[in-house]
Each structure stands twice: as C-alpha cells, then as structure tokens.
Amino acid sequence: MTPAPLVDGFGRVVKDLRISVTDRCNFRCTYCMPEEGMQWLARDQVLTFEEIERIARVAVERWGVESIRLTGGEPLVRAHLPVLVAKLAALGVDLALTTNGTSLGLLAGELRRAGLKRINISLDSLRPDRFVALTRRDALDQVLDGIDAALAAGFDPVKVNVVMIRGVNDDEAVEFATFGRDRGVQPRFIEFMPLDADGAWTLDQVVPAAEIVAAIGAVYPIEAVSHGPEPAARYRYLDGGGEFGVIASVTEPFCGNCDRVRITAEGTFQNCLFAVDEVDLRAVLRGGGSDDDLATAMSGEVARKWAGHSIGKVTFVKPPRSMSQIGG
C-alpha cells in the first residue's frame, strides 16, 4: 500500500526527517555554545537506537518520508553509530549525516559500509588560528583528514558546510571555493541564523548569499544550476571545476518549500528549526504508546507548522534551544 503523505496546513509535504543522535559535541563553537560550555543530557534521557529506528520506521511506512539526516551535537561521539546507520539504511531512505569531521578518519569506511549514502562536514574556516578561535579546539588537520577519508570511502559528493559570519570569516568565500575545486568537494555557504547559544546574533552579522556568489563569480566564472526543493541554490564553474551552493536562510527564506521535521536527542519532535513548541515522543515510547500513538503525536505537531520563521522581522520569536541542541 502506498503511504499517504504527511501534509501541513499550508500544503507542504513532509519528506525529510532530521534526527539528533546526541546533544554532546567535542567542539565548543563560539556561535553554538556559551564560553562555559553546555550541560549535557544524562545517558538515559537520550533516545536509544531502537527508539530512533521505531520513530523513523513510522515516518517512512506511514507517510513515505524519503530522507533521514543524522545530526548532533556531534553525531560521531555517539558510540557504535554504524549500528544505527545500518538499522536506518534498511528502511530504504536517502540516509545522510552532518559531522564536524574529526572522527571521520576512523569511521568513514565503516559508515559507508553500514549504508550511509551522503555526508556533510562542517568547517567554518581554513585558517588554523581562526579555526581555533571558532571551535575552541586545535583540530583543523583532523577535519581535513576526515574530508580526505570521506572521499576515499567513496562518498560523492562530499559537501562542506560553511556558516558565514560578517567580520569573522566573510573573507574566506573564494578560499573555500578554491579548496572545493582542488579537493573535489562542494562547499555549502550558509547564512548565519539566530540560533547561537548566547543570543548575541544580529542581522548585520549575516553575509547575504548574493554577496558570496558575487565574490566567487568574480574569480571563477559560474552559472546557476536548476534545482528542486532543496534549500541550497547551486552554481557550477564554467570550466568544469565542480560546484558550490548557498543557503539563504535569512535573506531569501525557503519556508514555502520546507519539507523537514526534526527530532532532538531526547526525543522531542519539532516541526521547524525555529519551533518554539514541541511534542515529547520519548514519553510516548516509554509510556507504552503504540505506533498509532506516535503517528498521532507527530501528525498533530506537523498540522501546527507555521508559515515561516520571520527572521529579521518584529514578529520573530527566538526558539529556546541553540543549534547544538537541535541539530542541523
């Protein structure tokens, strides 16, 4: 039987499930975490692999969800992650993962063999001193080794997520473009969003996607690539040197095409990255709830999905969780 689509009140069909497998991270990025660090969840508060697989199975079987992305915190700090990857790969979805890359040198091959199809590596500076200032860890070489390990394992494309921040790394757009061309990876430039732990975000810190495209295009001739509902606008180099993408979450929001929902590490279900409300799926799972109960909880929250996040407008409400607590 063909699954019935899960549709919100604005006619948007949910196809993409983002799952945070842990709130823990081995970085303390300046825009993700406060200087003093985070208070992590106790182990028994985090969803088990079996609980994650059950939620994912309901989403796939009931509504035909097509893609699942594993996030964190940093997902590779979760012990035995390839076991979860194998469970989710068996559902037949497009299975991806976003990581800071520090452990990929050890795990890339095993993740690939377990069924992981795609990988994004977060890297916000190619300059060692700036990398340390951003992450509070001297691990740039490990991340670069992780990128090489992902390529060697056969992941294609390997995407590199770059959050651009005015006055911090906005002068590195062309450097990342060159890096992508030389290394055979695809940079994804992401506008800085108000999900920082300290709540210090301001609109003037946002580097517009159009500015990034113009800077790269002035050095390497490019052309736009037509694409579907994915958030990244893509550009290819006219000389065949690959491509890059820009995600204009702030200046050109794509809320009208959003097909994503999210589950945090402790099992709360969110209908938007900027949701201020959520529903507790862990309580359903551990309270003896049926698959029907899970489906009802999720579909009810999707029905409450709002039209858009309203960043930069007086109507914007900052969510209570930072990016490190939600997942990408």
> pLDDT tens, 16-33?
999 999 998 877 776 666
- Mean of pLDDT values over 159-173: 97
Q: What's the first-to-final CA gap in the chain, in angstroms?
A: 32
**Chain position carrying tokens 């690939």:** 112
Domain span including residue 207 = 16-326
Residue 309 inside a domain? The answer is yes
Residue 10 inside a domain? The answer is no
Could you give phi then psi for residue 326, rounded to 5 degrees? -105, -45
CATH of the domain at 67: 3.20.20.70
Residue 158 inside a domain? The answer is yes
pTM recorded for the entire structure = 0.91
pLDDT band (50, 70, 90) for residue 252: confident
Domain count, the chain: 1
Residue 61 inside a domain? The answer is yes
Strand partners, 245: 188, 234
pLDDT band (50, 70, 90) for residue 1: low
- Mean of pLDDT values over 173-179: 98
Are the C-beta atoms of 245 and 234 separated by less than 8 Å?
yes
DSSP alpha helices (H): ranges in 17-139? 49-63, 81-89, 104-114, 128-135
Q: Is the pLDDT of residue 82 over 80?
A: yes
pLDDT of residue 138: 95
Three-state SS at 225: strand
Going through 157-242 in order, the beta strands assigned E by DSSP cover: 158-164, 186-191, 222-225, 233-237
Residue 7 inside a domain? The answer is no
Strand partners, 16: 67, 260
Residue 162 inside a domain? The answer is yes
Q: State how far the Cα of 130 lies from the Cα of 40, in Å rounded to an integer.
A: 26
Nearest to 7 by CA among 309, 306, 303, 304: 303
Q: State how far the Cα of 223 lies from the Cα of 180, in Å rounded to an integer.
A: 16
How far is residue 262 from each of residues 20, 202, 236, 316, measured CA to CA in Å?
A: 8, 25, 30, 20
pLDDT of residue 198: 62
